[in-house]
Amino acid sequence: MTTRRLGPFDVHPIGLGAMPLSMGDNERPSPAQAVATVHAALDAGVTYLDTADIYAPSWDTMNHNEAVVARALASYGGSTQDVVVGTKGGITRGPGETWGRDGSIGYLRKAVEASLRALRRDVIDLYHWHRPDRSLGYGDGVASLRTLQEEGKIRAVGISNANLEEIDVAVEVLGPGGLASVQNEFSPRFRCSRDELEHCGSLGVAFLPWSPLGGTGSAAKGVGERYSVFAEVGTELGVSPQQVVLAWELSLGDHVIPIPGASRPTSITDSVQAADLALDADHLDRIDTALNR
Ligand SMILES: NC(=O)c1ccc[n+]([C@@H]2O[C@H](COP(=O)([O-])OP(=O)(O)OC[C@H]3O[C@@H](n4cnc5c(N)ncnc54)[C@H](OP(=O)(O)O)[C@@H]3O)[C@@H](O)[C@H]2O)c1
């Protein structure tokens, strides 16, 4: 297992998506199970934890997930020196569960300050602009993040749910080496961000597939039933279909860092092993053929 580059950081090739600890289609875990899940990830070698300010059970508990991550890191028995925490902002959540977008500097500054408090940090390691605010030019939103970085509140800047053009705008605004990561949906059932994945490879920008197993609920659990090739290869290698999915994603480029979600320790402990699973050319051919059938 070798680490992968995430902006200024080197991280384990598999991150932990912390969202299911606060929301999603599965039952929300108890506080103790949530902390145990993060600890299991750290025990297994995970060094990138992915959260967001909106990951919360309700609109009036924003920053819930960041607080869970902070609590888990504070209570971990081992070293957390190499752990990178990435969070996100730019989606608004208000009374009555009304959702919106705001990429203005005024909103993002307040969002970053709330995330810093929840994460119990002075600086956020990696901050993703969660979704474009179409009332602004894309470059203006990225410039807001650059300002917050210049103010020392953010170490590295990422974007999320961005298309090819938006990636190029972000690179232009942030300058050479300034864009750490692009976090877009990518999984066997959602492959239409493959162009963005490849573009990031050519730019030397990390690509973080979100919902890499297809999403919480039945999609991730049933990925081997919906796409039998992952179950077949898994049976041959004696591993879960989920590990094969993640190993296939890792094979798409050294810049790819999947962030499978988990609300149970066993899920992330299993997923992490994908980093050591070598798929040969025959496996990869069979997966490509099955997906493109
Ligand atoms: N940037 C964005 O707009 C955006 C949007 C959505 C998500 N995300 C990020 O992406 C992360 C991952 O996405 P996601 O959580 O929606 O979906 P996902 O990673 O595709 O699926 C998560 C589900 O997979 C199950 N799972 C994980 N590993 C497994 C394994 N080895 N075997 C069996 N089941 C396994 C988990 O079950 P248990 O719950 O039972 O452990 C969990 O419910 C999120 O946590 C979040 O950090 C970002």
Summarize pLDDT for 190-227 with one digit per residue, the tens.
999 999 999 999 999 999 999 999 999 889 999 999 99
Whole-number pLDDT of residue 25 = 77
For 68, phi then psi, to 5°, come to -65, -45
Strands 48-50 and 16-17: parallel
pTM for the complete prediction? 0.98
| Ligand 1 contacts CB of residue 178 (under 6 A) | no
* Whole-angstrom distance, CA of residue 149 vs CA of residue 127: 9
What's the pLDDT at 27?
84
What sections of the chain are H helices per DSSP?
31-43, 64-74, 105-119, 138-150, 164-174, 194-203, 218-221, 223-226, 228-237, 241-250, 265-272, 281-291
Identify the structural domains of the chain with CATH numbers, from first to last.
Answer: 10-220+252-269 (3.20.20.100)
CB atoms within 10 A of CB 46: 25
Cα–Cα dist 143/157, whole Å: 10
Q: Say what the pLDDT of residue 24 is.
A: 78
Residues of the chain with pLDDT under 70: 1
Q: What is the pLDDT of residue 261?
A: 97
Ligand 1 mean position, distance from CA 128 (Å): 18
- Decide whether any atom of ligand 1 lies within 6 Å of the 37 Cβ: no
pLDDT digits 0-9 by tens, 218-275: 899 999 999 999 999 999 999 999 999 999 999 999 999 999 999 999 999 999 999 9
Phi, psi of 73 (to 5 degrees): -65, -40
pLDDT at 100: 97
Give the pLDDT confidence score for residue 1 in this predicted structure.
Answer: 66
Q: Is the CB of 267 under 6 A from ligand 1?
A: yes
Residue with tokens 């020392």: 152
Q: Which of 28, 267, 270, 272 has most ligand 1 atoms within 8 Å of its beta carbon, as the pocket-test mutant? A: 267
227 noted as active-site residue: no
Q: Is 234 in the pocket of ligand 1 (CB under 6 A)?
A: no
Encoding tokens for residue 98?
């009304």
